[in-house]
């Protein structure tokens, strides 16, 4: 669901050496990925004296996820599922695992996150050459094919069936998080001690910085067209994922439309929020919840996060007021004076 032209999160401190000489034991590789990942991905190792095999293994994994989970490629497993309504489609273990988890998140958020939103997303075409404002009848017709309850899972057969006519899946709102968690597994298996995985809007800071301190992560300024960050979060072994209205949008007849759709209305979410950031040990969870909490709104979103262990959130409203969950109080700092903590 997110197409980023630049990273939504900026790693500061050790990972942003600027013009200073890079450490001899630093390894950095960046590559553009298509499909559901759809961003420049950068993998960085620190304090690493080995070869670049962990990074190579990560990109091999990423290309595989792109190939299997693309909603656009006719050769992907997701396309096979979407093209066989009412008939089971056998998929790989990873694809099944992610769809199963996505359905679980959908149920827990009362449908605020829903990977069956593809018919509505395609109708609006935001971020493509077919961008337009569809009519109410078109939206209502597309919504008949939306609803996570229509995903039928057969774990024993690793098969997925879509029960509604016209149902299509889109893993773009969760695939980057899933890929990021798989990259963390590769880090662990290779005995990497310090690293950063940056998938454009989805960052995982692995371990502590080489000097033993927490990483400092700058969260993208959500004001459309502006670069830089508005706040800093300190973290280690955490995913930091942001969803915002600045990512993909257009204007028509003087009205602003962004890409984050409400699965109930089939229209862009309109609740006063301009960005939501979720911090979690699981990047898959943070990816899905950043979208879900945006749809739920600041109050319901914060209440939902409060029920989850080790999950925090940052909610930014269109008046630039900021609300955070309690666990961030000692590791959160606003650095742009235009943004203020809400009363």
pLDDT in tens, 70-127: 988 889 999 999 978 899 999 999 999 999 999 999 999 999 999 999 999 999 988 8
Distance CA 205, CA 12 (A): 11
Q: How far, CA to CA in Å, does 130 sit from each of 72, 122, 139, 257? A: 14, 9, 15, 14
Residue 140 lies in a domain: yes
DSSP labels, 210-269: TTSSPEEEEEEP-STT--SEEEEEEESSEEEEEEETTSSEEEETTEEEES-EETTTTEE-
CATH code, 72:
1.10.3980.10
Residues near 149 by beta carbon (within 8 Å), at least 6 away in sequence: none
Distance CA 161, CA 86 (A): 6
Tokens of 56: 């190579």
Residue 182 lies in a domain: no
Residue 300 lies in a domain: yes
Q: Do both 154 and 200 map to the same domain?
A: no
Residue 277 lies in a domain: yes
- C-beta of residue 325 within 8 angstroms of C-beta of residue 312: yes
Distance CA 328, CA 180 (A): 22
Residue 56 lies in a domain: yes
Segments in the chain below pLDDT 50: 1-8, 12-22, 24
pLDDT at 6: 31
pLDDT at 72: 85
Distance CA 133, CA 293 (A): 24
Distance CA 94, CA 191 (A): 23
Residue 244 lies in a domain: yes
- Measured over the CA atoms of residue 297, residue 298, residue 303 and residue 305, the dihedral's sign is positive
Q: Do both 199 and 336 map to the same domain?
A: yes
Distance CA 157, CA 153 (A): 9
Q: Do both 134 and 206 map to the same domain?
A: no
Going by the DSSP 8-state scheme, the letter that residue 84 receives in this structure is -
The pLDDT tens digits for 29-76 are 777 766 666 678 899 998 888 888 898 899 999 999 989 999 888 899
Q: Do both 133 and 29 map to the same domain?
A: no
Name the nearest CA neighbour of 315 among 233, 209, 242: 242
Residue 284 lies in a domain: yes
Domain range enclosing 46: 9-66+192-341
CB-based burial of residue 248 (10 Å sphere; 0-12 exposed, 13-18 middle, 19+ buried)?
buried
């Amino acid at each position: 669901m997110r197409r980023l032209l630049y990273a939504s999160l900026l790693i500061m401190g050790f990972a942003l050496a600027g013009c200073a000489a890079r450490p001899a034991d630093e390894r950095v590789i960046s590559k553009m990925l298509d499909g559901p990942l759809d961003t420049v991905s950068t993998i960085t190792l620190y304090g690493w004296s080995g070869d670049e095999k962990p990074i190579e293994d990560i990109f091999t994994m990423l290309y595989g996820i792109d190939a299997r989970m693309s909603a656009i490629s006719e050769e992907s497993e997701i396309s096979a599922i979407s093209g066989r309504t009412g008939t089971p489609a056998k998929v790989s273990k990873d694809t099944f695992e992610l769809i199963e988890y996505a359905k679980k998140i959908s149920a827990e958020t009362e449908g605020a996150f829903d990977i069956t939103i593809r018919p509505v997303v395609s109708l609006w075409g935001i971020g493509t050459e077919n961008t337009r404002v569809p009519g109410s009848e078109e939206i209502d017709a597309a919504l008949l094919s939306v609803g996570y309850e229509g995903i039928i899972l057969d774990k024993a057969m690793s098969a997925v069936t879509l029960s509604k006519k016209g149902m299509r899946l889109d893993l773009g709102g969760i695939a980057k998080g899933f890929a990021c968690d798989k990259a963390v597994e590769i880090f662990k298996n290779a005995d990497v001690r310090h690293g950063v995985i940056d998938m454009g809007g989805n960052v995982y800071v692995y371990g502590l910085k080489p000097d033993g301190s927490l990483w400092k992560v700058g969260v993208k300024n959500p004001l459309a067209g502006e670069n830089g960050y508005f706040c800093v979060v300190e973290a280690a072994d955490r995913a930091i994922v942001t969803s915002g209205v600045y990512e993909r949008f257009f204007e028509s007849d003087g009205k602003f439309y962004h890409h984050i759709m409400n699965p109930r209305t089939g229209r862009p979410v309109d609740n006063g929020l301009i960005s939501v950031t979720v911090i979690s040990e699981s990047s898959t969870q943070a990816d899905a919840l950043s979208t879900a909490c945006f749809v739920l709104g600041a109050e319901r979103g914060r209440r939902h996060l409060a029920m989850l262990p080790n999950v925090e959130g940052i909610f930014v409203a269109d008046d630039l007021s900021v609300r955070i969950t309690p666990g961030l109080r000692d590791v959160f700092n606003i650095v742009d004076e235009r943004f203020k903590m809400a009363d």
